[in-house]
Every structure is written in C-alpha cells, then in structure tokens.
Chains A and B, each alone.
Chain A
Amino acid sequence: MMISEMWTPVLALLQQEPSGSFGQRLVQSFSQASTTSFLFLSAILFTVGVYGVLTRRNMIVIFMSVELMLSAANLNFITFSRYWQTQGNEYAYNGQIMTIFVIVVAAAEAALGLALLLTLYRNRETVSADEITLLKW
C-alpha cells in the first residue's frame, strides 16, 4: 500500500469486500496503530500550535499554542522511548527524561511569560499582540 499507515484503516474500509457487518469491519480496520500513527498525530498537533502562534491576537492564547507545540514534541519523545523499549535499546528511557525536562521548562516559561504579560497589561492596558508596537519600526 503506497499511502502511509495513518490512513490504512480508512482505505481498508473503502477497499474491503463487504464481509461481516459494518460494525465488525469498522472494528477490524481500526484494530492497529503503529509508531507512525503517533508521529502523524504529533505532527498535526504541532502544526495546529504553529497556526495558533501565527494568527491569534490575544497573547495568552499565543502562550497556550506554544504549550500545544511543546506537548506535540513530548508525544514524539514518548513514542520513540516506547519504540526503543520494544526494540530492546538500553537508552530507551532517555526520551521520558527529556519529556520531564520539557515539562519543567514549560512550567518556568509559563510563570515568567505570564508575569511579563501582567506587567505589560498594567502599563499598556492591553494583551493584544497587534497593539504592542513600541519596538516595531
């Protein structure tokens, strides 16, 4: 099959000869998920985050989109950690350690970023990224 594994269930549903009820075929076709499926999910999550960072006006929502992107990276780390566990690699748990550090840095970033935002709101009465143009030329 030339189309990647994420779409395999859908394609199998379309191509299968009708054998058994629709419910049975649905369960059968969605009965497998591979490493690649997780990576595709992570890619889509990351892209949704990128779109949020690029388009939202409210800076708090921009921060939330950054958290989405970090979470997508976390999912990738955990996926590869599990993959190397099943392959018997002794460094498999490094991925989970990396994820823990990402969570720590995200916490620090959120605390500092939101403190900056509060200070900004006190001085400029706005949290809209479009209205903060003092350093723009």
Chain B
Amino acid sequence: MLLQGWEAFFFYGLAITVLFMAVFTVSAKNAVHSALFLISTLIGLAGLFLLLRAEFVAGAQILVYVGGILVLFLFVLMLVNIRDDNQNPFNRQDKIAFVVSGLLLGAIMFSVYHTQQSGFFKSKPTDERAVIESAKPGPNTGMISTDTENVGKTLYTKAVLPFEVASVLLLVAVIGSVLLARDKKQEETYD
C-alpha cells in the first residue's frame, strides 16, 4: 500500500493536524477546550479513514463519536461544576509518565520499523490486478466504491453473533447509565 500524489499530500496534512490536536487535547487546561480539540482529532481521523477507502467507518466515526460521544462529554462537563482554582492540570507523576510513554513509543516504533525492515509490508503501488474482485467497482456501479457493500456483507455473514451481542451491550449501557445517573429524589420517588 503506497499513497502517492494528492493522497500523500492529504495524508501528511491530516497527520500533522491530528497529532497537534491530540497533543492539545491532552495538554489543554480547560476541559471544554480538551473536548473541542478531541472533536478535531476525531474528524481528522475520519479523513484518514477516507484516504484508506473506509467510507462507512469514516461516516460512523463522525456520527457516533462527534455526534454522540463528544456531545455526551460536553453535557457532563457542563453538569459538573469544575472549580478553576489555578491548580496544575497535571499530577505529580508527569515527568516519570513522560519517560514511560516515551519508552512505550520507542518500543512500538522499533517493532513497526523492524517489521518493515524484515520485508513484511510489500509496499509497492496498488496493483489493481491483485485487489480482490469484491473490492473493485461493480459493473453497474460506475466508479462508486463498494466498501459499504463489502462491510455489510462481512458484518451480516461472518460477524452476526458479535453484532447481536453488541446490541445487548448497548441495551445494558442504556439501562445502566439511566440507573446510575438518577439522583436521590428520583430514587425515593420510584423505589
């Protein structure tokens, strides 16, 4: 897999945006700013997913993360009154944590580098003949990508059981969060 031309240009642009926004997410003093920077990070990641021809996941990312989870974060941030008493937003472990995460980064980078040096990634330009038939545009679809079709096929044939389990998980999450988030007065009224 090798992105060339404009795709590579967009990759580097999005990569730099995503990295800076991630660093700002972690380092922003105000938690609301963190949430907004996280939104930017996730939108940039959705753009990267588009570059990787994963349109469905890019759409799901924007709908679920940006439209759902981040709105939830902002709601909770506004319900929870954070006292801004000029306290350092980082705790006392920040130096040792920097070393630990630096070592982790070094380990991951080394393993990726080693894998690449061992010739695991055949990083030649995309050979259209090697791409499986199902990944190509169909006869009646013109140049429209068949990514969503293939994701749907895989989801409903190979991954049916996890799909159903995921629905139960979401039900548990809904009931559990309603049960947890009610206050004392509501509990006394309904118990």
Interface residues of A, Cβ cutoff 8 Å to B = 4-5, 9, 27, 30-41, 43-52, 54-58, 60-61, 63-65, 67-68, 71, 74-75, 78-79, 81-83, 85-90, 92-94, 96-97, 99-101, 103-112, 114-119, 121-122, 127, 129-130
Q: Which of A46, A49, A104, A109 contacts B166 (CB 8 A)?
A: A104
User: How many cross-chain pairs have Cβ atoms below 8 Å apart between A and B?
Assistant: 271
Partner of A44, one of B19, B183, B184: B19
* Cross-chain contact A33 with B3 (CB below 8 angstroms): yes
A93: nearest chain-B partner, CB-CB: B154
Secondary structure dominating the interface of B: helix
Using known A-B contacts A86-B1, A110-B73, determine if residue A68 contacts B57 with beta carbons closer than 8 Å.
no
Asked whether B158 lies within 8 Å of A64 as measured between CB atoms, the reply is: no
B94 A110 Cβ-Cβ under 8 A: no
Nearest residue, chain A, Cβ from B128: A86
Give the 7 A-B CB pairs with smallest separation, nearest first: A108-B173, A54-B97, A52-B26, A115-B177, A115-B180, A47-B105, A43-B108
> Are A81 and B169 in contact, CB atoms less than 8 angstroms apart?
no
| B100 A32 Cβ-Cβ under 8 A | no
Complex Cα distance A99/B7, Å?
22
| Bitwise interface map of B from 104 to 135 toward A, beta carbon under 8 Å scored 1, else 0 | 11001100110011000111001100111001
Interfacial residues, chain B to chain A (CB-CB below 8 A): 1-5, 7-9, 11-12, 15, 18-19, 22-23, 25-26, 31, 34-35, 38, 41-42, 45, 48-49, 52-54, 56-57, 60-61, 64-65, 68-69, 72-73, 76-77, 79-80, 82, 87-91, 93-94, 97-98, 100-102, 104-105, 108-109, 112-113, 116-117, 121-123, 126-127, 130-132, 135, 147, 150-151, 153-155, 158-159, 162, 166, 169-170, 172-174, 176-178, 180-181, 183-184
Inter-chain contact B116/A78, CB cutoff 8 Å: no
Flag if B48 contacts A57 (CB, 8 Å).
Answer: no
Q: Can you pick out 21 interface pairs between chain A and chain B where the beta carbons lie within 8 Å of each other?
A: A5-B123, A30-B12, A31-B9, A43-B105, A46-B108, A50-B100, A54-B97, A57-B87, A61-B89, A64-B34, A75-B48, A79-B52, A85-B53, A94-B158, A96-B56, A107-B170, A114-B73, A114-B76, A116-B180, A121-B79, A121-B80
Q: Given A48-B23, A111-B173 in contact, is the A97-B155 Cβ separation under 8 Å?
A: yes
